[in-house]
Chains A and B, each alone.
Chain A
Amino acid sequence: MISFWRVIKFGFQNFWRNPWLSLATVFTFALTLFIISVFFFLVLVTQTVIKAIEEKMDLVVYIKDEAKEAEILQLEEAIRNFPGVKSVKYISKEEALPVWQNSPYSEETKQIVTPERNPLPRSLQIKVKSPPEDLEKVTIFLANPQYQNIIRSSTRTSGLSYKKNKLIITRLGGITKFVKKIGLMLAIIFLAISILVIFNTVRLTIISRKDEIEIQRLVGAKNSFIQGPFLVEGVLYGFLATILSTLFIYLLLRYTSPLILQYLGEISFDLKQFFTSNLFRIFVVQFLIGVFVAGLCSLVSVRKYLKI
């Protein structure tokens, strides 16, 4: 037990009595953790944005006024059974009215439509599972001549022509795939680089104490008594680096969040809000990475010199 407290004491002593080395190590750690975190935030933001856009991507089929109720039901059923379709929602003339009133047209234009005189068409709102590909398939399906007597020719996606946006949608789909597939790979590479940086930093601090380790051995210190303080020191590095890195992230988000918010507009994913509500979790994850890597590295590095 007394050895345990001595190990802890020596760990802190090593830290304080090599202030510059300790400071440099902590900063290297903090920057590495910061880079990992920023990368994960980027992946997160991209994914959230894409998800939000996908959520908004739908296909609206406008129904001709002369179409009969039964025909519409039949079409709705056919679309619902089409592979890749998530949901189909029927929107009556009455339901279309408030949507029109909220649209960004001028008041005069809005005045044209009133409950008594409602030229708005009935419509089917289609949501699909994976937007770009499935939307295209549904569009082709709807081009079938048997439906042309009930569907208005001006079928649109989200109020914009589907064909015009096809390019954008396909590109967006590409980004989604890229982020999903490459994101993971990049994350692993980043993590590997960070571990190497931390490993090297810890190794350097230990190499600089090679002689001390030898002396400790010659005085009759057990290996655990020599390794212990290094482990304590590593954990201390990890802890301080996490605090610093979290502070960096906070500052970064504080100044960039409004810009991102402004840029993304209606998608409105508040990063700072996300950060604040997940502060504890972010801190813990970073701390665990930092402490685990630093601890492991110090153990591995010291071992080398314990085999004298």
Chain B
Amino acid sequence: MIRPLIDIQKVSKHYGQIRALSRVSFAIHKGEFVCLVGPSGAGKTTIIRLLTCEEKPTFGRILVGNRDIHLLPKREIPLYRRKIGVVFQDYKLLPTKTVYENVAYALEVSGEPTKVIKERVPKILELVGLSGRANNYPDELSGGEKQRTSLARALVHKPHILIADEPTGNLDPATSWEIINLLFQINKKGTTVLLATHDREIVNALRKRVVALKGGKLIYDKKRGKYIV
């Protein structure tokens, strides 16, 4: 059996008295497209924060590429984060940098040569359809453009995994579909995608694997699943 890319094993996360996650287990294999669904407070964001090493689990462990990411020494966390790409509901763009610079930043942090940056950034901007907006600041963009910038930044360093936390949460349906289509294309090219969302329509239309959480517990995990909760 092939080892999964992400292996979440009996993970619990407690914030004081609040049980955000209780013994959640599931695995994601390379190349999969997984929708992580559930109402607000179900624990979707907690799982993502654990995957990005912003939080540590109270119990259990998470293996990524067969390494327990919460046993990584502090200085290796940035290196781990460069292997994953994350897209956020609130875009998290650097306000004093242009679209081009925001995307380039993800390469600059890992010390990529300027030549590589000049080559790769325009390509990825073209992929997300932002070539004409390269020199605009985030303030000057629409919600969809901001999210596409965020997506470009998450992809420019060719990550193994793309994690999207409610990427369509602030967007209108038409724009939402543009973003989802991009995720779909990226997945087709081989990148593993974990999409956290509570958008029923999108999940049902995608017909991809669905993992559902409720009250911090895993209640549903099915290939070609539907939005239940």
**Which residues of A does B touch, CB under 8 Å?**
2-3, 6, 13-14, 17-18, 211-212, 214-223, 225, 308
Complex contacts, B52 vs chain A, CB 8 Å: 218
* B213 nearest CB across to chain A (Å): 22
Complex contacts, A216 vs chain B, CB 8 Å: 94, 105, 109
Give Cα A18 to B97, complex, Å: 11
Q: Does B78 contact A (CB under 8 A)?
A: yes
A222 touches B78 (CB 8 A): yes
* A216 nearest CB across to chain B (Å): 7
**Which residues of B does A touch, CB under 8 Å?**
52, 54, 75, 78-82, 86, 92-97, 105-106, 108-111, 113-114, 153, 157
The B interface is mostly helix, strand or loop, or mixed, namely loop
B106 touches A220 (CB 8 A): yes
B111 touches A220 (CB 8 A): no
7 contacts between A and B (CB under 8 A): A211-B92, A216-B94, A216-B105, A220-B78, A220-B106, A220-B109, A221-B78
Closest to A3 in B: B111
Complex contacts, B105 vs chain A, CB 8 Å: 216, 219, 221
A219 touches B111 (CB 8 A): no
Given contacts A220-B109, A225-B109, whether A215 and B94 have CB atoms under 8 Å apart is yes
Complex contacts, A220 vs chain B, CB 8 Å: 78-82, 106, 109-110, 157
Complex contacts, A14 vs chain B, CB 8 Å: 96
Closest to B101 in A: A13
A2 touches B111 (CB 8 A): yes
In the complex, besides A218-B52, A219-B105, A220-B110, 15 extra interface pairs with C-beta distance below 8 angstroms are A2-B111, A3-B111, A13-B96, A17-B96, A18-B96, A215-B92, A215-B94, A219-B82, A219-B106, A219-B153, A220-B79, A220-B109, A221-B78, A221-B109, A222-B78
Chain A CB within 10 Å — which of B80, B97, B105, B113 has the most?
B105
Query: Count the A-B residue pairs with Cβ separation under 8 angstroms: how many?
Result: 53
Closest to B93 in A: A215
The 10 closest A-B pairs by CB, nearest first: A220-B81, A220-B82, A221-B109, A17-B96, A215-B92, A222-B78, A220-B78, A219-B106, A3-B111, A6-B108
B113 touches A212 (CB 8 A): no
Complex contacts, A13 vs chain B, CB 8 Å: 96-97
Given contacts A218-B81, A219-B105, A222-B75, whether A212 and B94 have CB atoms under 8 Å apart is yes
* B212 nearest CB across to chain A (Å): 26
Closest to A6 in B: B108
* B88 nearest CB across to chain A (Å): 8
Complex contacts, B110 vs chain A, CB 8 Å: 220
Complex contacts, A17 vs chain B, CB 8 Å: 96
Give Cα A6 to B105, complex, Å: 10
Give Cα A223 to B74, complex, Å: 10
Closest to B91 in A: A215
B111 touches A218 (CB 8 A): no
Given contacts A2-B114, A308-B54, whether A219 and B96 have CB atoms under 8 Å apart is no
Closest to B75 in A: A222
Complex contacts, A18 vs chain B, CB 8 Å: 96
B75 touches A218 (CB 8 A): no
Complex contacts, B86 vs chain A, CB 8 Å: 218
* A23 nearest CB across to chain B (Å): 15
Give Cα A222 to B114, complex, Å: 18
Closest to A214 in B: B92
Complex contacts, B82 vs chain A, CB 8 Å: 219-220
* B129 nearest CB across to chain A (Å): 21
Give Cα A225 to B215, complex, Å: 39
Complex contacts, B157 vs chain A, CB 8 Å: 220
Give Cα A6 to B112, complex, Å: 11
Give Cα A20 to B105, complex, Å: 24
* B101 nearest CB across to chain A (Å): 8
Give Cα A215 to B109, complex, Å: 12
Give Cα A221 to B79, complex, Å: 8
Complex contacts, A212 vs chain B, CB 8 Å: 94-96
Give Cα A126 to B186, complex, Å: 96
Complex contacts, A223 vs chain B, CB 8 Å: 78
Complex contacts, A225 vs chain B, CB 8 Å: 109
Complex contacts, B95 vs chain A, CB 8 Å: 212
Closest to B82 in A: A220
Complex contacts, B114 vs chain A, CB 8 Å: 2
* B50 nearest CB across to chain A (Å): 13
Give Cα A18 to B79, complex, Å: 30
Given contacts A18-B96, A212-B94, whether A219 and B81 have CB atoms under 8 Å apart is yes
